[in-house]
Structure 1
Amino acid sequence: MNAQPLTPDRIVAEALALLQEAGFEQVSLRRLAARLGVQAMSIYWHISGKDELLRRMAGTVFRETVHAIPECTTWQAWARAFGMGLWRVQHQVRDAARLIFSARYSEEDFRNIAHGMTAPLVEFGLSFEEAMALQSSIQALVIGWTGFDQIFGEPLGQVIPIEPSMAAGLDALIAGWEARLASRPA
């Protein structure tokens, strides 16, 4: 019997460890319970099911990204740090793209994620709508490249340098937003 108390944070941490070791297909509540030394039903006291588990796992990936962003003096620097941070964190997590796309988010989940990722941009003077669209554009770009890299890997990398191409796309996206925001009415 495991002496550590079972908590949602411990369950999610162990689920991420299982994902890292065995891959997305091997993440199940039964396997997770075995790793935690508990019965599968014990997990349901803390996590309502696999959908909630996947949401919490993906949420942890996003929170780690936002917490790792250094202090920035411009929205452009923040956006680049956010994009590169997403890239790094998603590449530290095996099957990150599959995890993120498999999580069934609620409207409340999206609102919570949006608040954490838009607040810094709003502080730089962007409207909530602009900040939401900008950070969503960055997420879409990075998760797309992450998926390419994690699914197609080395064969694709022989045709196109994946990380430099992603970074160039990120810079172009930020430059496009910079032009768009500069042309808005004062």
Structure 2
Amino acid sequence: MNDATDPRLTVEQIVDQALELLREEGMDKLSMRRLAARVGVRAPTLYYYLPDKAALMTAMMERLFARCLDLIPPTTDWQTWIRGFGRAIWKVQDTYPFTGELITASILDEDYFARTTLRLQEILKDFGPPIERLMDLQSAVQSLMTGWSTFAHARYAGQLGRILDVERLAFESLDALIRGWRLS
């Protein structure tokens, strides 16, 4: 087993393995002990990298959000960016169907919100409309797409899929939100 000073183990690797553990086994199977076994260390060693499970969950949320932002193609207009953002959220939450559970179980601190807000403002500042309204819109898009994603991954998704095309409705709702959003 690796020890806490092993330079081959990084926080990024731990977070990636935690995401895979969640994807494979679900939220109730996430424990520091199971994660430690997965990365080849003892559980106390993980605390060298992350002080507690709450920090791990924050790091996982930040990683997933960063993946969403990284998936958005370059653009020069806010509508295309917001549409790309919504589609990126859908894709990430489809890849990691436990994201809704992770969102509700995480305790995100002020530093997380400050980092995330700063990154979003940096992206959105040059699109023209008031940054406050674009920040509100991106929050609305996150909520909308997470809601649809929750339907798509619910235990009853099979029955729902027989009466609704959830993905189509998610993207139609996204487009309607963008078209109807007031910038002032």
Q: Same fold (TM over 0.5)?
A: yes
Is this contact kept in 2: 1:14–1:36, CA < 8 A? yes
Q: Is the 8 A contact 1:19 1:94 kept in 2?
A: no
Task: Indicate conservation of the 8 Å contact 1:118/1:135, yes or no.
Answer: no
Q: Give the fraction of aligned pairs with identical amino acids, expressed as a percent.
A: 38
Report how far residue 56 of structure 1 moved.
0.7
Matched, 1:64 2:67: yes
Deviations 1:21-50 (A, max 9, x none): 111111110100111121111000110111
1:36 to 2:17 alignment? no
1:23 maps to which of 21, 26, 32: 26
Query: How is 1:1-186 mapped onto 2 (pairs within 5 angstroms)?
Result: 1-2=1-2, 5-151=8-154, 152-177=156-181, 180-181=182-183, 184=184
- Matches of 1:34 and 1:4, distance apart in 2: 17
Q: Which sections of structure 2, spanning at least 5 residues, go unmatched?
A: none
Letter in 1 for 2:116: I
TM-score (norm 1): 0.91
Letter in 2 for 1:44: Y
For residues 84-104 of structure 1, the C-alpha deviation after alignment (integer angstroms, 9 at most, x for no partner) is 011011100131111122111
User: Using the alignment, how far apart are the partners of 2:121 and 2:153 within structure 1?
Assistant: 27
Number of residue equivalences = 180
1:145 maps to amino acid: W
Deviation string 1:110-166 (CA, Å, 9 cap, x unpaired) is 121122233222210133311210110000001111111111311111121100110
* 2: CA distance, partners of 1:166 / 1:117: 22
CA distance in 2, matches of 1:164, 1:44: 43
Following superposition, the deviation at residue 4 of structure 1 comes to 6.3
Distance 1:140 1:40 in 2: 34
**Secondary structure of the structure 1 residue equivalent to 2:73:** coil
Amino acid at match of 1:140: S
Secondary structure of 2:48's aligned partner: coil
